[in-house]
Structures are given as C-alpha cells and as structure tokens.
C-alpha cells in the first residue's frame, strides 16, 4: 500500500505548486501513522509521509522535536512504537548519522569503501569465482551497472572535494570534524537510491558545501536531509517538510517557498481562530440571555456552541528569547594584533597580520579547514603564543569564548542544576531574573527544566550550552562554529541578539547566511598563508575577491603581452642545425605520441580493464596523464621552432 505525503493536521501548499502533486513519481519509502515517545515526551503522533523518486526533501523543526529520530526510523535503525514503515524492494540507502561511528582501527579509505559494501562484496565474489563459472557474467554485469570498478577513484574524488584527510591516515588520529567528513564520503560513495543526511554541512567549509550543493542538485536518487544551512535548503530542496507537534506539514518548493507558505498558513489559522472566538462570544451572550432550551432549534444552537468551544486553538510555535547580558563598557584598546605570524611543522599558516578590534565590530573568520582560523582565535585569547608579532588586550576587555567543542555538560545533572550552577537567579547587567524564567526563554518547559542532560536531544543540549555560556556576559563574544546543531528558529534569535549586541563579536563560521546577516567585517584565510580583511558581509567579500581575481588576471595578461612584445623586438635568428633536424622530425614524433596515448585510452574503455589491472591501474592513469602533457609540450615546441624559422626567413 502506498501512502502519499500529506498534511495530517492542516493541508497548505504554495499556490504555484498545487498542481505538482498530481504528477508525482512512485514512492520509494512511506511512513504511515507513526508514533514515538521517550518517557513523557511525544516525538511522533500519527506522522504520515511518503518520499518519492528524485525528491530532495528538507526536514525542519524545533530541536528535540524528533527529526533525527525520524531519520533513524526511515533508515531502519530504529523501530517506532506504532505505525508502519514501507520501503521499495531492494532499496539501497546511504545514511549519515548525526552520531556516526567509524572503524577507529582502519584507514580513511577503508572506512569510506565500507559505504559501498554491497558493491565490494560483489567484486570479491567475482574475483573468487572459477574462470568457467556461469555466474561470472551476471556478477560482471551487476558490478559494471553499479560502476564498481571505479570505486576507489570515486572515493578519492570525494575525499578531495570535501577536504577530508588523506586516504592512508588512521581514523583514530583524526579530529571530530575530520571524522565527520569521512563519514559523509562513506554515505555518498555508493550513489544509493535513497540518501539520508543528518546535518551534512556541519564541519564543512564553504568551498566543500558549494561542491556538495552541486553534487546533490545532480543526484538522481531521492534525498531526505536535516540541516541548519538556509542557503543549502534554498538551493537543494524541492520539498520542505516541517515536523510540528508530532505531525508532518508538507510544503512544495525550497526554503524561501516554505517561509512564505508557512506565514500564509499561520495567518489563515489566526484569522480562523479570530472568527471562532468572535462566534463564541456572540453565542455565549445568547446562551446567557436565552431561556432554558425547549425547542429543537434552540437546543441545536446550544450544541453547536459547545462543539465549537471544545475545539482547541491552533498551537503556537514559540521562538527562543535569546538574552545576551549588556556589554560592560569597552576601552579604546580592545584587541590589537601587530605583524602576527604563526607556523607549524615548517608550514606558515599566516604572516604579517594586523588587526584592530573596534567597538560594535562583528568579524566573521572564514576559510577552508586547516588554514589556521582556530589557531588565530587561540592566539588572540592568549592560549597560544605566536612565533612573531604582538597581541595586546585592553584592560576593560572581557572575553566570553564559545569554543568548537563547547563547555562540558554534566550528563548526571538536570538542566536546572547544570545551568544554575548552585544559584536560582541570573544576573543580566543591572537586572536579576529567576533561573526558571531564564530557562523558559530558551524554550525549556517546567518538565524539561528538570530533565537530566543525558536524556536531551542534540539540539536541546546546544540550547543548554548557549544558556550556560551567554549568562557569563562579557564585552567580546568569540564564537567557533556557533551554528552547528542549532535549529533554524534558534539561529534566527541568535543572529538578532548578536546584531543588537553593543560589544564586539568574532565568529569562525562556514554558515553563509549567518555571515551575511551578522557580520560587518570578514577576515578570510585564502590559503598559502594569505589572509585578507574586508569591511562588509560575506557576499560583499566574495564580490571584492572576484574583482581582485579579475585584476590579477589582467596583470598576468599584461605581463604576458609585454613579454611577447620584447621577444618580437629581438632580432630574428637562424635555427641551429640540431633545431632544424628537430623541426623536420617533429610531426612524426607528435603523431607517434598521439597514437600511443590513444591506444592507452582505448584500453581504459575496455569493460575488463580494472579487472586485468587491479594492481597497477593507478600507475597506468598517471602514465597516460604524463603522455598527454608531453603531447601538449611537443605542440608548443613545434610552434616555437616554426615561428623562429618563419621570422628569420621573412
């Protein structure tokens, strides 16, 4: 039975997309009337959804509402308390778990290849068959259909584009962010029919995120993903599904379409509720004035009143009321860097870096992983000593640092105990509020306030950390990847709080939306030790970088033109005897080189190439690349000699 994606509580879709459901492709997976709860918390309550071929569904909702739980259920890792889940027969699923596990004793490449075990098992079976086996033809067809002979090349390509560690590295030596990139490569490798991704952009730099966007936009399978990256949702999603109060609400289109349609739906619900309240008020006046109902008409009217009165008002989706304590007054000198440089293991991360932090400045630090962003933060905080230059911190500067690993939470304590740290009140500048009121602003209800930390979802833990950290105050807030694990509503509130904050903000982030909305300056690590500072947000930095790149290209082109002109001004010379002989035989040499390279390319196209050359295919590929480069150089040499001869004879 195929259960079509619907809206359980209220059906509302963008008008321009209302007809799109009429031509939906077949469902590859469907969830019907799912129910799931943890203790008193209800996560899924009659949730129904179908996922169709080729769809890219962005799943959104509050942290702790059950998004990751639903992904586990769809991936087959968790059974719901009630309801049914159906998959298409032989459906191949790739899953990036939020709390993934890797084989610590294996290499990066071995872990990535484990994501295509169904293919590597076929290859192993094929290689162990007798040469005369009738099964070999079927296995070869399956492996070829799955593009199995190119698994290692695809794995290397993924590792390269997602800026993951080297293939031969041991996983046990990697950082948390590096392991996550390896896990993402593993999920993408097999090109599964159904890809499930839980926060795929976490710990990816902007370049890798942009590559992943292109990859998924061309991906032919279905994809269900949870992410806080709003640009990613806008560019990838073809349908948005909101998990709200245990039920699914579906919206056709991307994240922008979802915001518009959701606002329209909520306005409609608000209008309906206003009409309901007006009807109840009018009917209540009548009930109070009317004599005891004797006739059927009066009784029917009273019954209608109570029927409407028994209906619940639409539930409101509350936002976090993020509080950052007022910033203490800053001195003229806040943080100053003069000619700062740092290197590790013979590699220079950056040099000659100057920076003066000013009041109201909100700097976004961007760049690929491993270029030195977190190192710079530690130097600014005095946790690391730069190997050149000076760092000065003003006497009134109070730094509140939210690091990449965050503060440690005590799983044995409740939210109340861990955030309160023995106090029942929170000091916010000149104001003091109760701890309970403070936690309610972070969307912790009375029952969740007393819940143990170990029982919270990943998103709820992030809210606890924010509540714990931000109450410390300070006038310089330093954030390292602040958007990881926060839901979209909390992110909006964090951004609004930071933009109105009177102190300074320094944020290391790959979230382009966050950088555009919050930052008024960008410090960009561009590689090879180059660090550039631009006033303005991230989009403005990209615009200026493009202009800078065009200018550099123009300079190179001008230099090349000048070089040609100088050569043209030099007197023509006669070819030497050896050059004459070289030119005479050049055509034959090029023809032979092209025939040799062509023969190698034909051998690569053979169906059994990787079977025959399983031990040396990489060396052969490198050899072909060298031959092609040699042909280009031969043509250049031929043109050079012919030009010299023509110039002399002319």
- HEC letters along 65-105: CCHHHHHHHHCCCCCCCEEEEEECCCCCEEEECCCCCCCCC
How much is the pLDDT for 10?
A: 31
Which of residues 168 and 457 earns the better pLDDT score? 168
Do 165 and 182 form a contact (C-beta atoms < 8 A)?
A: yes
With 0-12 / 13-18 / 19 or more C-beta atoms within 10 angstroms meaning exposed / middle / buried, residue 349 is buried
The pair of three-digit structure tokens given for residue 518, joined into one six-digit string: 């919050």
b or e along 162-193 (b: 16 or more beta carbons within 10 Å of the residue's beta carbon)? Answer: bbbbebebebeebeebbbbbbbbbbbbbbbbb
Residue 385 has what DSSP assignment?
-
The pair of three-digit structure tokens given for residue 528, joined into one six-digit string: 């090879």
How much is the pLDDT for 429?
A: 73
Mean of the pLDDT values across residues 400-423?
79
Residue 274 has pLDDT above 80, yes or no: no
Residue 300 has pLDDT above 90, yes or no: no
pLDDT tens string 345-371: 778 899 999 999 999 999 999 988 888
User: Within 13 A of 239's CA, how many CA atoms are on the CB side?
Assistant: 28
Do 229 and 201 form a contact (C-beta atoms < 8 A)?
A: yes
How much is the pLDDT for 401?
A: 86
Q: State how far the Cα of 575 lies from the Cα of 327, in Å rounded to an integer.
A: 77
pLDDT tens string 17-50: 333 443 567 899 999 999 998 877 889 999 999 9
The pair of three-digit structure tokens given for residue 33, joined into one six-digit string: 């009337």
Do 97 and 198 form a contact (C-beta atoms < 8 A)?
A: yes
Residue 637 has pLDDT above 80, yes or no: yes
pLDDT tens string 158-203: 999 999 999 999 999 988 888 999 999 999 998 899 999 999 998 8
Longest dimension (CA), the chain: 125
Q: pLDDT confidence of 477, banded at 50, 70, 90?
A: very high
What φ, ψ does residue 82 adopt, rounded to 5°?
-155, 165
Residue 253 has pLDDT above 90, yes or no: yes
Q: State how far the Cα of 56 lies from the Cα of 636, in Å rounded to an integer.
A: 48
What share of the chain has pLDDT > 70, as a percent? 84
Give the H or E element holding residue 185. helix 176-189
Q: State how far the Cα of 469 lies from the Cα of 6, in Å rounded to an integer.
A: 41
Residue 320 has pLDDT above 80, yes or no: no
How much is the pLDDT for 24?
A: 63
Residue 113 has pLDDT above 90, yes or no: yes
């Amino acid at each position: 039975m195929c259960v079509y994606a619907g809206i359980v509580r209220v059906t509302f879709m963008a008008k321009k997309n209302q007809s799109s459901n009429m031509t939906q492709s077949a469902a590859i997976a469907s969830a019907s009337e799912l129910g799931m709860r943890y203790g008193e918390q209800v996560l899924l309550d009659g949730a129904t959804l179908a996922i169709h071929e080729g769809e890219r569904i962005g799943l959104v909702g509050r942290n702790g509402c059950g998004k990751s739980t639903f992904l586990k259920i769809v991936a087959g890792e968790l059974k719901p308390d009630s309801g049914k889940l159906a998959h298409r027969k032989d459906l191949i699923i790739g899953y990036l778990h939020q709390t993934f596990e890797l084989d610590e004793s294996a290499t990066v490449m071995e872990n990535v290849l484990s994501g295509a075990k169904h293919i590597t098992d076929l290859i192993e079976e094929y290689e162990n068959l007798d040469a005369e086996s009738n099964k070999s033809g079927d296995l070869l067809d399956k492996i070829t259909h799955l593009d199995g002979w190119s698994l290692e090349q695809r794995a290397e390509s993924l590792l390269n584009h997602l800026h993951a560690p080297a293939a031969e590295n041991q996983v046990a030596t990697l950082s948390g962010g590096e392991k996550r990139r390896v896990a993402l490569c593993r999920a993408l490798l097999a090109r599964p029919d159904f890809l499930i991704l839980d926060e795929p952009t976490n710990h990816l730099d902007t370049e890798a995120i942009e590559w992943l966007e292109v990859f998924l936009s061309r991906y032919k399978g279905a994809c269900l993903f949870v992410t806080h990256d709003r640009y990613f949702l806008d560019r990838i999603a073809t349908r948005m599904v909101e998990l709200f109060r245990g039920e699914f609400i579906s919206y056709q289109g991307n994240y922008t379409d979802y915001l518009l349609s959701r606002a329209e739906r909520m306005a409609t619900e608000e209008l309906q509720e206003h009409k309901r309240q007006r009807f109840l008020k009018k009917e209540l006046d009548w009930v109070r004035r009317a004599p005891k109902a004797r006739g059927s008409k009066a009784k029917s009217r009273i019954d209608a009143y109570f029927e409407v009165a028994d209906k619940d008002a639409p539930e409101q989706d509350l936002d976090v009321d993020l509080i950052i304590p007022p910033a203490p007054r800053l001195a003229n000198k806040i943080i100053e860097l003069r000619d700062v440089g740092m290197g590790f293991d013979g590699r220079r991360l950056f040099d000659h870096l100057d920076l003066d932090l000013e009041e109201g400045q909100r700097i976004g630090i961007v760049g690929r992983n491993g270029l030195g962003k977190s190192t710079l933060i530690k130097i600014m905080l005095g946790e690391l000593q730069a190997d050149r230059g000076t760092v000065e911190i003003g006497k009134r500067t109070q730094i509140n640092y939210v690091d990449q690993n965050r503060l440690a939470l005590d799983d044995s304590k409740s939210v109340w105990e861990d955030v309160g740290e023995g106090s029942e009140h929170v000091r916010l500048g000149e104001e003091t509020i109760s701890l309970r009121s403070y936690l309610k602003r972070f969307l912790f209800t009375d029952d969740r306030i007393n819940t143990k930390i170990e029982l919270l979802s990943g998103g709820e833990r992030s809210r606890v950390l924010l509540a714990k950290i931000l109450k410390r105050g300070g006038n310089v807030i330093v954030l390292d990847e602040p958007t990881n694990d926060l839901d979209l509503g909390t992110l909006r509130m964090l951004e609004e709080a930071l933009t109105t904050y009177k102190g300074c903000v320094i944020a290391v982030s790959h979230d382009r939306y966050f950088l555009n909305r919050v930052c008024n300056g960008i410090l960009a690590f561009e590689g090879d030790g180059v660090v550039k500072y631009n006033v303005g947000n991230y989009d403005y930095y990209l615009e200026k970088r493009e202009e800078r790149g065009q200018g550099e290209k123009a300079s190179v082109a001008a230099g090349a033109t000048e070089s040609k002109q100088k050569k043209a001004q030099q007197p023509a010379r006669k070819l030497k005897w050896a050059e004459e002989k070289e030119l005479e035989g050049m055509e034959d040499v090029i023809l032979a080189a092209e025939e040799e390279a062509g023969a190698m390319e034909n051998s690569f196209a053979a169906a059994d190439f990787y079977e025959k050359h399983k031990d040396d295919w990489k060396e052969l590929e490198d050899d072909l690349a060298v031959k092609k480069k040699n042909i280009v150089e031969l043509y250049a040499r031929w043109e050079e000699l012919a030009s010299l001869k023509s110039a002399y004879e002319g």
